[in-house]
Structure 1
């Protein structure tokens, strides 16, 4: 598979390590968090295989293109708008989460609105770039940040302050029945592959996807999950970790680089995860814009040769985000994100069913032509 395919999958995995996912897991640490992680990883890998093989069968085609060719217009419009809402909300959650983190830990004197506007200025421009340029941007940021994030993870495993006894205690709850919310939260980590509904236009040549690729994603996914859940437990303990709103921030702040230019690891961790949040948000909202383009003709409304619809969309996105960030606090965000994750348990099977129908109709069309 192309390296850009892995960027789409891995960015979604790593960007959500310090969001609501670990908080949800720690809230359910005695109620099936571990078995939920295992089951969600299995289902997530099945989803990755399904979506990858489907879009690999139609190189260069996006979902909106295939919907127009195989589905009634009314269904195409309604289903596309549902996807627009889902991808917009996914980006909105990322933006609000990292705006709150940025202001709380790095720039406490900045207002929420100003912090939001600052991030919006960077992201909204990138949303209207072509898919290849978005992927090139992702690659640059990924290559710069990923080695340092891996370094921090390795340092966490080797740190003298990590207590492996706490991790063993956490493992004793592996036989508890799984719960739906932690299952849905972990499953979301594996759904970066769904961005192929738009980014598949970049992959114009059929890719190789077999057991080697699945094994690599399994290894990376299990490593990310183990690190997400057990490393904070090793530093913060098992009993009271559910009281922390940002367990990974506290964990990063427990580590020191004695001979580094910056001694406190948390500042490096936050800055580089801010970069990951920006590209995660860029991916989600780029997909949102492209889905809207498939419904609305951006060339219809012009003033002096300039497209007006993109500016209207940017304004609407910005207003919704600025209003939301003023009314959603950390606790509300936790519950809102939990409901969003659970809603994906209904959306993903529906999307898979639609893709299955599309594939059948293409096969029927090919048989008629032959």
Structure 2
């Protein structure tokens, strides 16, 4: 084993900002597992191959609890335990309890209902884009409001409340917002969802939150889970739609395939998920000594999972740095893997399968309104993407 890495390379290629850092790719070519010195001085590990990343995600000897992990990108001191409702930072059996209650609510029937409604929502926002006219930020006018409205449908937010709800949701995910604005938006949404839970208990409707009021969950847990689902489902899909549009505009031959055959959308979404890996990093901490990739991971050591590099592993995907919408991209780790695999992944797929074909069908002349190098990226964010995507047609 060579000397530990002094830090995690984060800089992406300026001319291909959707690619992982070249230094990490070069490291993966030399080996799948590396010693890594974290910003707080912790000596842990970095896993870069597809097989090792999936192995760690699936192994219950690696914990997802925040208070046990060290972060690879910043020294923020000891992390507190996961707040109420945050399933991401829990291990079994606490995680299992929430997961079982929620998993049964993402039913085939509900996803079918949402598919038709998401298609309507998509068309409504495309109508609004057309009414606005050429020259707008696609994030503000399409990539954010489509999933925000879909979440309103999922949770059962009444129509009269949606403008204020989506305004606070937009402030919550806006990268330009101040910490005070983020806090105010989060507090307002928390108060609103708590009130919505009370209303659903009194007068349930056909939505996820109403369904959950029939479970053992307390009002505080229901409100926290509602906020968690909002946070987990809004920023991620927003950035997939935004960055995915950017990448497709920069790959006109692939975009032509999607335009000519909208039925390609399901496979195209999987390939975009693999290619972009908007959640680039994960972290797990060993609960006991574990052998991984020929090395001994000691109890208490954190392992950083390079998901963006794993999704470009040539051992799994031939020519991984090529965007190929006809590729069989199954097995990517963009939704995670194992017990923490994204609970709302089917809703995200519904939204993206509707958004991409409809956007390019309605606006066949859609193009960037700035030079590609001028598109501002979300560098340094946990969820990668574009800050704004100026487009015209």
Higher helix share: 1
Query: TM-score surpassing 0.5?
Result: no
TM-score (norm 1): 0.30
More strand by share: 2
**Higher relative contact order structure (alpha carbons within 8 Å, sequence separation ≥ 6):** 1
- TM-score, structure 2 as length reference: 0.29
